[in-house]
Each structure stands twice: as structure tokens, then as C-alpha cells.
Amino acid sequence: SQQGEEDPQALSIQEGENATMNCSYKTSINNLQWYRQNSGRGLVHLILIRSNEREKHSGRLRVTLDTSKKSSSLLITASRAADTASYFCATRGETSGSRLTFGEGTQLTVNP
């Protein structure tokens, strides 16, 4: 079963704007990861945040993690048309071994 829930399901913005996507999960985690998927293609790992971290940056990406609320957010700043894709959070549970469970995803459309 999928443990991560994401909102919004779909997000449409203009180039240059910031995009924020949220992810909630149900069980204790070892780490939380964000992935991007262009239509019909494989997933690309974007960023990983461990359960003892609260915020992480990578280029135009900023990820936060609130383990007390079991939630994470992904912020993409200064968006570009090329950022158009589906974004998924994925969690590794503390006791789930190698299981990596994906949320429902957010479809981001960045209009030029």
C-alpha cells in the first residue's frame, strides 16, 4: 500500500514562480526522498532527507521534513518550463528494510 499522500494532485504555474508540493506519510521513517518523472519515463532521484534532518537544499530545490507532523515539502524556486513533470515523494520506513514506498504524486505544469 502507498503510505505517502501528496498535495496538490496537480499544480499549474507560470515560469519564474515558485512551486510547493507537500507529502504526508503514516509510519516512522528512516529517510524521505523526492523523485521526478517525465511522462512515461523512468524516475530521477532529486534529493534525500534523513529523519534527523529538518531542511535540505540542492540548487533550486528546498526540502523540509517535519517528523512530528509526518510531513515533507518540496519547493522549486524560479521554475522553468523544463520543470514540468510528475513529482513523487518516497519513504523508507525504519523497519521496512529495502522497501521504498511512493506517494500519489503531484503533476506540475510550468507554463512559459
Partner 1 sequence: DTEVTQTPKHLVMGMTNKKSLKCEQHMGHRAMYWYKQKAKKPPELMFVYSYEKLSINESVPSRFSPECPNSSLLNLHLHALQPEDSALYLCASSQVGGRGPTEAFFGQGTRLTVV
97 binds partner 1 (CB under 8 A): yes
Candidates 12-20, 27-35, 64-72, 73-81; binding stretch for partner 1 (CB under 8 A): 27-35
What phi, psi does 71 have (nearest 5°)? -145, 155
Q: Which of 63, 74, 84, 102 binds partner 1 (CB under 8 A)?
A: 102
Restricted to residues 45-84, the positions that interact with partner 1 (CB under 8 A) are: 45, 48
Residue 92: how many CA atoms within 13 Å on its side-chain side? 11
Q: Contact with partner 1 (CB under 8 A): which of 25, 101, 108, 110?
A: 101
Q: How far apart are CA 58 and CA 38, in angstroms?
A: 19
